[in-house]
Chain A
Amino acid sequence: MKKFQCVVCGWIYDEAAGAPEEGIVAGTRWEDVPDSWACPDCGVGKADFEMVQIA
């Protein structure tokens, strides 16, 4: 499971945790998150996210 971080505001999407309050269930892989999805904190689109290295 990977984590992705919004390059604009720093919000982190953790695949393991999903984003249940955004309607994305735990374990959803980033590639399966819809393209129409936007960062809950700043509203940028999926294309503006970048992968964050995890330990």
Chain B
Amino acid sequence: MKQRIIIVGGVAGGASVATRLRRLSEDNEIVMYEKGTYISFANCGLPYYVGGTILEKDALLVESVENMVKEFNIEVHNNREVVNVDPEKHIITVKNVLNGEAATDHYDRLILSTGAKPIVPKIQGLDQADNVFSVRNIPDVERIKNYIDAHIVHKAAVIGGGFIGLEMTENLADLGLEVTLVEASPQVMAPLDFEMAQFAHEQIELHGVQLILNDGVARFSDNGKTVVLSSGKEIDTDLTVMAIGVLPDSTLAQKVGVKTGIKGAIVVNEHFETNVPDIFAIGDVIEVKDFITGTPTLIPLAGPANRQGRFLADYLNGLDAKNPPVQGTAVAKVFALTVATTGKNERLLNQAGIAYQVVHLHPNSHAGYYPGAAPIELKVIYGEHGKILGAQAIGTEGVDKRIDMISAVMRLNGSVEDLQLIEVAYAPPYASAKDPINYAGYIAADQRQGLVKTIEWHEVDALIEKQAYFLDVRESFELAAGKLPGSHHIPRGELRGRMAELPKEQPIYVYCSVGLRGYNAARILALNGFEVYNLDGGLKTYEQAKYETGQMKTQPHLAAQSGSDSTTAQQAPQCTKIEVDACGLQCPGPILKVKQSMEKMNKGDILQVQASDFGFHKDIVAWANATGNQLLTNDIVGNKVVATLVKGVKASHDDAAHTLQAAPDTGGATTMVVFDGDLDKAIATFIIATGSAAMGKPVTLFFTFWGLNIIKRHANTKISKSGTDKLFSMMLPKSADHLPLSRMNMGGIGPKMIKKVMADKNVDSLAVMIERAKQLGVKMVACTMSMDLMGVAREEIIDGVEFGGVASYLGEAAKSNVNLFI
């Protein structure tokens, strides 16, 4: 039977339902009333039109009126507002917006797709302001563009830190305006949890926007030229965008007795039917069912609106279609970052009384060794049976992809176990063999099985206050960029040998920078009977959560002052400039790269380093301060941080030389012949070696006879040997771990004692000293002749040792002014 179906509202849902209705039926009369001039325009593109990213207005017009008429045979009435409905008689009253003329029309079915309208609160002074705008449709953004063209506009204020507010902030900043963003709650982007929103806060400030949180607009004064906030703070502005949210535009519905619910949203059943016969509703104006809680909610997003339009058309044509519950998957570009979410966040789960667990991780967007990799800050929230309840992700690349996959897993009520099993398309430019979502699944599954217990960032401060035992398992040099106050430090690699230092009677809270080494350490300790917790997300999540807005200087593109008192070494022409790419580096990441590069440089040389992790921006400031190097610039360039440093006059090799007092550089080299293989002598050797190397001297250690035992590798490499070689092998210590003492050896008790004393006094173990010596560029040479005599094979010697004869020793000794025989 031929029907006349009238649609009120010609954007998103309205356009979708109209075209689908036509595709399913050639017979029906399909009529669209739109109060604006344009139908089916791309409202999500509006901010980018203001910013000039989208140049042509026409690009925003998805379907023209002409096309709707010709291609789809739809009767389109734009500039026509439906002002009343007579549900009994099935008649609508229509007002011509241009000339006020009224008309009526008859419908068999009426579809309301009236959308949502920006909230414009009654604020004192708003009526006198001619420079306050909201962003809902094309005329709105044209007004903004025209205003900018016709007036001198330097400063802009955006009120509201939701998606539109942020997009407008970015686009106005792109136009070169000085932008202030005001948000009444403690964070922008409500779908994020606070610690995740902090990444956005930092990003916003890094791009020169003034961010004011926890403050609302009290009034406008000076014809809108001044925004007065609740705190009394005043903001000068030439242009203000109000983006504090939207409300369902249900005036017409309410007028004709259609039942409404939350914030006036139209209540519909799963077939989009309202309480009034033959009146249906779709899009931002309706209440939808929340995917997680099953309760009614408002989720004004384009994706669901389009889907609803299509499904309603299906239903009206007798197909099986129901309005699916909505997860609220969303994404926004925030300067260089992509911020995406799906499902529920912690705040909403707490409100709903749903129990959950979370994991935070910071995996690379693709294989770290392939150029351009950048970290993704990922948070996954799961509930009973591991069912995924929500996820949040932030980064410069691959963020939308991961949230889309997690959203798809959620759609079928998938669990964290499913996340482990998703087979992602992997090649180095796209992903890692273990994709971020696999990792999230692995970590969560381990949590669920009790393999690791975690604490969250927000529990840390209370624990510190209670003097809980925090154990930092990062490498020594990482501590320069910050650590938890009062924490103890044992690098993860040394943990097995130093467990005696740890308390058995109280819980140990382990942390590293991103959580991975912490997890490994937690496993070791748990398997050794300790009560241990790992800090989820590591120091990175905790420190980001502690980010303080408003601390950044107003010109963040300029160099932050490194607090060092080094002389203002400007770029001397004779200085070498070294460029380093630290993008996509695995933890400990860019700082290690900087440290290693700096060590190869001379005082006054300049290092330029780029990193894809925005956290580097603050890490490098702290590191430069702690190490006495001078930070010249610290800029955001595209989606990277680019910093330049001058190697400082008093630049030390961080803590490498902490066992020695720094001494003036006397030039010359140090050589040592290491003849004996006793533990105490070995320790002395490496203290002197690392000390001299830290002072910038070339150091060569020449290992001969018993001294070779010091540089044997740990692994008990089985090598077939014959006769005397075999005998020697059995009698000699296997590696540096097994060396005797020169005095008080006492059948091996002595070495154990000294190792404990070293550990207690926080002196590095010999193995660590050897490793550090290597990092500092200490040259180690094993004497090939004595190796032959002692029956030591090359495979038994640790990596990084050169092989040479007496000539190589003499050559080095000739250049040195310190020459020792140990």
On whether the two chains bind one another, the answer is: no
CB within 8 Å of B: which residues of A?
none
